[in-house]
Structure 1
Amino acid sequence: MQRLSLSAAGLSRRMVLAAATTAFALAGCANYSGIKSDKQIVSPAQVESTQSLPAEGGQWPSLDWATQFGDPQLPKLIAEALDGSPSIAQAQARLAKASSYIESTRSALSPKVDASYSWNRELFSSNGLYPPPYGGTWYSENNALASASWDLDLWGKNRQRLGQAVSQAKAAEADVQQARVTLAASVASTYNQLAQLYALRDIAQREIRNREEISRITNGRVTAGLDTDVEKQTAVGNIATTRSNLSDLDGQITTTRYQLGALLGKGPDRGLQIAEPVLSAGVTGATVTLPDNLPADLVARRPDIVAARWQVEAAMHDVKEAKAEFFPDVNLSAGFGFDAFGWGRFLTSASRQAQFGPAVHLPIFDAGELRSQLKGRYADFDLDVANYNQTLINALTDAATQVSSIRSIDKQMGDAQRALDATTKAYQLATIRYKAGLTEQLQVLSADQNRLAAEQTVTTLKMNRRDMQIGLIKALGGGFDATQTALVVPGDAPVAAATSTQQNAAN
């Protein structure tokens, strides 16, 4: 019996060898000759940005960047949003789904073992295939079989599928980080908008008091015969207009609170519970300094770039898998069990059944299906490379735009503050002269309008600068760092050096 087993094992090896030899001989029947891609991902050094983003010795944003604005409520709101936002939950669900594919694809690399048992009760025909005593009699058939199979994956098709699943999961993980950065910046920006509306509301309230003061002066001048009812009604109309503007700001404040409630993943009533912002004014004037080596390091700091890079990696594996489809699949299978009529002889040696051997599948003529599939994979690869390149360019442009906007506002602030100081002095002098009967109401109103516009401009510039600071923090990755996680693509340094690897995979 042992000699028979050894002989069967030798036969199995010879069959595998014969199958592999045949496969190699026929491998040229279907081929991917002439199908390739010359697309390459762009490195930061290839994107001209050194003048726009110079090395200034600055620091990258930290994960607790919101604390720099001096309002303890803001970091708490961001933490609440990250904990309960549906957008984060959606990104995490996509990550969980992508991660589930890893286990299913990894299973293809291991042997499969199955077991089955069947029992059939059958009446055999007296005039059929089986003669008496089987014919015309009821019999029970028992069949038990344990089987195993193993795809040898000689050309790495299953390994490439696993690599593609891992890359997709990494991209989904980076997407989660991008969602977190985007949400945190959105909460901070909307919170800053709320602070701006409150600042404009304070200005409107002060303006109402100014207009009421002008109205009192006008009433005294009318009594003295220096002004007419025209000036009196003008003063009344100006007060009503300013109060209308105040009501409009109150409506915008409520709407912005609703938006914050939605960003927190709560209902609109949550937004109404938020206290009035007390963002620090000191950080607004802080000088912006960029980190050294910004373009090269940005690829590891921006989650959207990291996600795009993993999509390219996934496309590489797709291409390699499609290429492996042109080569033969070799599967080994074996089975052992028992098959017998009735129970008496079911588990005896005479009822044994066994099967083993390789199975080879080789594409010879498929009317171009495999070549078409490979072309499609290369098209996806080219698309992902183009998306990565565009994401990188957009990221560098985003950072440069935010820096330029901040520095432009810094230049405007000096002139805007001087204009406010001058128009405030002019308004005060015009009010004194109007009260003394030395000038007309129109001059006071004109001076007041100029002062109001200058004050609104200074306030808007300060708030816009803070908004640009938040935008720059987001443009620099919001504290994310792929080098501190498992999201750096193997072989990249940290991510930008993948051109040679990608090119080898694409051709």
Structure 2
Amino acid sequence: MKSQLNRNVAMTRIAKVGVSVIFAAVLSACANYAGIHSDKEMAQPQTFATQQSLPAEAGHWPAADWVDQFGDAQLKALLVEALKGSPTLEQARARVAAASAYSETAKANTLPQVGASYAFTRQQYSGTALVPPPVGGSWQSENKGLLSASYDLDLWGKNREALKASMSDVQASEADAEVVKLTLNASIARSYNQLARLYVLRDIAQQEIDQRTQIDRITAGRIATGLDTEVERKTALANLATSRAALTAIDGNIVTTRYQIAALLGAGPDRGLTIARPTLGIGDQVNLPDNLPADLVSRRPDLTAARWRVDAITHEVKVAKAEFYPDINLSAAIGLDAFGFGRLLTAASRTASVGSAIHLPIFDGGALRAQLKGRYADFDYAVATYNQTLVTALSEVATQLAEVRSTDAQLVDAQVAQDNARSADQLAITQYKAGLTNQLTVLNADMNALSADQTVANLKMSRRDQQIALAVALGGGYTDTSDAGSGKSNSTASVAQANPVVDAQ
């Protein structure tokens, strides 16, 4: 008896070993992803040389209300209005909602599925087939109700990784929405600044019309005294007409700029006509914050979106790798099945089933390997996109800072030139009126003064435009508070190379 028991134990062990050997042999013959990998990594901002271009100046990062620095309440109100009515923002919100819906679908795949069904069938059964009389050859009504449940064991984490990928896509979509919001705010602010510039240029053009009207009157008086001829009079009238045409052109540009702002607000063109003249101030002093390259990663929404997309593709790579391993699904069902209604609710009509299903890819013609290669290509592209976005972000900050500094230096000389040109213009008019100089001298001085006024006006508006662009380049008040933003996902590039279970060689 004891020897028989020992033989049974030995046979059981041999069977287990045999099953393990067979299973290992099957796995070795299965499709695998040996040799498919990526060595791409996300660039770190500290590795770029920025010390000279982006010096630490103990400045502050832009706040969410960065437009307040210009002291124009109407501009702030326009930005608030745009957040409520812009179709562009609605599109961004719709994309976030769609990504959230996909995430909920991915989450559902990680949970047990339970369903109920009922079927009624009226059927005439063959009298010469499998079903014998009296059912065979008769019409029968079959009622069948089932309660079923299934669950994917997800041993290799495919569904869990798909859920993580969809959650990262949601984070990327939310960051994209912030990019749209920031871009919209910047577009409105810059268009509003352009409107302010046009009004200043209009003032200069009106002053020029007044001055050239005065020159025309002086010329008429000089003609009466024989100091000038009709040639000077016609020249004065021509210059006056040119100034009026310039004023009309500016008025046209003011109207079209109003229409542009209305479109950015998501409103009709008439909304732009109600915008009052801007009263923008000069803005805050420009100083860069410390530790800028490193902190910029969490301050720019486009960088955050690019980083989350790398994270999403990282999990999609793991999903593609898990496809090489067996899928095991458990299922069970219980219900009632009977001919007619009278016996449906009896114990004899009970039916139940339980089972499992295993799917193991053995030969698929290289489809799984091709799919994994595609995911790695997407990963490489996402990493390259992130790296390019980082390079562009650093360049934008440096460029805008350099332009601000250059404009500040130009303004100093331009204002000196403006003062001297205005003084020369007034002196020329005085001398012309007194008969001490000719009209050509007056016109030259007038043109110089007009050009100097326009240069200063354009530089002041450009300075404000560059300040707006710098605020946007620094993130416009955005701060990424997610785990990725705090630096916890800096290793996503290397993680994507790892297999969630075992590397197949």
Query: How far is the alpha carbon of 1:110 from its aligned partner?
Result: 1.0
> What residue is the counterpart of 2:146 in the other structure?
145
* Unaligned segments of structure 2, at least 5 residues: 1-16, 499-505
Deviates more, 1:457-466 or 1:332-341: 332-341
Match of 2:109, SS? helix
Partners in 2 of 1:252 and 1:199 — Cα distance?
Answer: 13
Cα pair 1:114 1:146 within 8 Å, conserved: yes
> What residue is the counterpart of 2:180 in the other structure?
179
Query: How far is the alpha carbon of 1:116 from its aligned partner?
Result: 1.7
Partners in 2 of 1:275 and 1:427 — Cα distance?
Answer: 33
Query: How far is the alpha carbon of 1:85 from its aligned partner?
Result: 0.5
Query: How far is the alpha carbon of 1:130 from its aligned partner?
Result: 2.5
> In the alignment, is residue 241 of structure 1 matched against residue 242 of structure 2?
yes
Partners in 2 of 1:215 and 1:112 — Cα distance?
Answer: 90
The one-letter code matched in structure 1 to 2:205 is A
> In the alignment, is residue 504 of structure 1 matched against residue 495 of structure 2?
yes
Cα pair 1:40 1:499 within 8 Å, conserved: no
> What residue is the counterpart of 2:39 in the other structure?
38
Match of 1:289, SS? coil
Query: How far is the alpha carbon of 1:20 from its aligned partner?
Result: 9.6
Partners in 2 of 1:350 and 1:503 — Cα distance?
Answer: 60
Q: Structure 1's 402 and 343: CA in aligned 2 closer, same or farther, altered over 3 A?
A: same
Query: How far is the alpha carbon of 1:452 from its aligned partner?
Result: 0.6
Q: Tell me the number of residue pairs that the alignment of Structure 1 and Structure 2 aligns.
A: 481
Partners in 1 of 2:24 and 2:276 — Cα distance?
Answer: 74
Residues 336-387 of structure 1 show CA distances to partners (whole Å, capped at 9, x for unaligned) of 2222223343333333222212211000000000000000000001111111
Cα pair 2:311 2:492 within 8 Å, conserved: no
Give runs of aligned pairs for residues 203-218 of structure 1, distance below 5 A: 203-218=204-219
Q: Structure 1's 24 and 111: CA in aligned 2 closer, same or farther, altered over 3 A?
A: farther
Partners in 1 of 2:119 and 2:285 — Cα distance?
Answer: 79
Match of 2:320, SS? helix
Match of 1:291, SS? coil
Partners in 2 of 1:306 and 1:265 — Cα distance?
Answer: 27
Q: Structure 1's 95 and 19: CA in aligned 2 closer, same or farther, altered over 3 A?
A: farther
Give runs of aligned pairs for residues 262-277 of structure 1, distance below 5 A: 262-277=263-278
- TM-score, normalising length: structure 1: 0.92
Match of 1:482, SS? coil
> What residue is the counterpart of 1:134 in the other structure?
135
> What residue is the counterpart of 1:27 in the other structure?
27
Residues 245-291 of structure 1 show CA distances to partners (whole Å, capped at 9, x for unaligned) of 0000000000000001001110110000000111124x3xx531000
> In the alignment, is residue 413 of structure 1 matched against residue 411 of structure 2?
yes
Partners in 2 of 1:203 and 1:22 — Cα distance?
Answer: 91
Q: Structure 1's 468 and 58: CA in aligned 2 closer, same or farther, altered over 3 A?
A: same
Cα pair 1:112 1:148 within 8 Å, conserved: yes
> In the alignment, is residue 252 of structure 1 matched against residue 253 of structure 2?
yes
Cα pair 1:300 1:488 within 8 Å, conserved: no
Match of 1:142, SS? strand
Query: How far is the alpha carbon of 1:125 from its aligned partner?
Result: 2.7
Residues 64-89 of structure 1 show CA distances to partners (whole Å, capped at 9, x for unaligned) of 11111011111001111111100000
* Unaligned segments of structure 1, at least 5 residues: 1-16
Superposition misfits of 4+ residues, deviation over 6 angstroms: 17-22
> In the alignment, is residue 308 of structure 1 matched against residue 289 of structure 2?
no
The one-letter code matched in structure 1 to 2:387 is N
Cα pair 2:58 2:287 within 8 Å, conserved: yes
Cα pair 1:23 1:328 within 8 Å, conserved: no
Q: Structure 1's 68 and 22: CA in aligned 2 closer, same or farther, altered over 3 A?
A: farther
> What residue is the counterpart of 2:11 in the other structure?
none
> What residue is the counterpart of 2:6 in the other structure?
none
Residues 194-216 of structure 1 show CA distances to partners (whole Å, capped at 9, x for unaligned) of 00000000000000111111111
Partners in 2 of 1:21 and 1:470 — Cα distance?
Answer: 69
Match of 2:374, SS? helix
The one-letter code matched in structure 2 to 1:27 is L
> In the alignment, is residue 232 of structure 1 matched against residue 233 of structure 2?
yes
Match of 1:27, SS? helix
The one-letter code matched in structure 2 to 1:157 is K
> What residue is the counterpart of 1:14 in the other structure?
none
The one-letter code matched in structure 2 to 1:388 is Y
Partners in 1 of 2:18 and 2:139 — Cα distance?
Answer: 45
Partners in 1 of 2:396 and 2:23 — Cα distance?
Answer: 54
Residues 378-422 of structure 1 show CA distances to partners (whole Å, capped at 9, x for unaligned) of 000111111111111111111111110000001111110111111
Partners in 1 of 2:332 and 2:293 — Cα distance?
Answer: 57
Partners in 2 of 1:342 and 1:19 — Cα distance?
Answer: 47
> What residue is the counterpart of 2:392 in the other structure?
394
Partners in 1 of 2:416 and 2:483 — Cα distance?
Answer: 50
> What residue is the counterpart of 2:297 in the other structure?
299
Match of 2:325, SS? coil
> What residue is the counterpart of 1:364 in the other structure?
362
> In the alignment, is residue 90 of structure 1 matched against residue 77 of structure 2?
no
Partners in 2 of 1:172 and 1:406 — Cα distance?
Answer: 32
Partners in 2 of 1:35 and 1:136 — Cα distance?
Answer: 62
Query: How far is the alpha carbon of 1:103 from its aligned partner?
Result: 1.1
> What residue is the counterpart of 1:385 in the other structure?
383
Match of 1:155, SS? coil
> What residue is the counterpart of 1:102 in the other structure?
103
Identity of aligned residues (%): 57
Cα pair 2:314 2:495 within 8 Å, conserved: no
Cα pair 1:171 1:311 within 8 Å, conserved: yes
Q: Structure 1's 443 and 262: CA in aligned 2 closer, same or farther, altered over 3 A?
A: same
> What residue is the counterpart of 2:58 in the other structure?
57
Partners in 2 of 1:18 and 1:298 — Cα distance?
Answer: 59
The one-letter code matched in structure 1 to 2:169 is Q
The one-letter code matched in structure 2 to 1:127 is T
Partners in 2 of 1:357 and 1:20 — Cα distance?
Answer: 22
Q: Structure 1's 94 and 331: CA in aligned 2 closer, same or farther, altered over 3 A?
A: same
Query: How far is the alpha carbon of 1:498 from its aligned partner?
Result: 4.0
Cα pair 2:99 2:166 within 8 Å, conserved: yes
The one-letter code matched in structure 2 to 1:411 is A
Aligned residue among 464, 467, 486 for 2:465? 467
Query: How far is the alpha carbon of 1:54 from its aligned partner?
Result: 1.1
Partners in 2 of 1:69 and 1:406 — Cα distance?
Answer: 16
> In the alignment, is residue 449 of structure 1 matched against residue 455 of structure 2?
no
Partners in 2 of 1:58 and 1:380 — Cα distance?
Answer: 38
